[in-house]
């Protein structure tokens, strides 16, 4: 799973629950980790050509998230989301 695809999954879940703020309220994953994930995924300085954006907007994260950490974060997020739908126990 690439940074782009992981971020798309996050966006689908965000949209389903009513937006970023609503997702953060769910407390399914730590807010700071979710923020770091987004900042890292968008940062060409942090992840190079794998980033969602081609040029840096703002400061890159000082300690970017590793791809394996992002994959685990999104896996947890998907699990919690599906549980909330009653599709997974």
| 67-85 and 31-42 helices, crossing angle to 10° | 130
Average predicted confidence (pLDDT) for the chain: 91
pLDDT tens column, 20-43:
999 999 999 999 999 999 999 989
Would you tell me how many other CB atoms lie within 10 Å of the CB of residue 4?
A: 11
Return the pLDDT at 89. 55
């Amino acid at each position: 799973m690439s940074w782009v695809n992981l971020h798309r999954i996050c966006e689908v879940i965000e949209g389903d629950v009513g937006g970023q703020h609503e997702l953060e309220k769910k407390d399914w994953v730590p807010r700071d980790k979710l923020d770091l994930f987004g900042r890292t995924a968008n940062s060409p300085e942090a992840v190079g050509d794998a980033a969602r954006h081609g040029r840096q907007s703002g400061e890159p994260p000082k300690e970017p998230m590793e791809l394996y950490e992002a994959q685990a974060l999104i896996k947890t997020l998907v699990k919690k989301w599906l549980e909330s739908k009653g599709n997974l126990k």
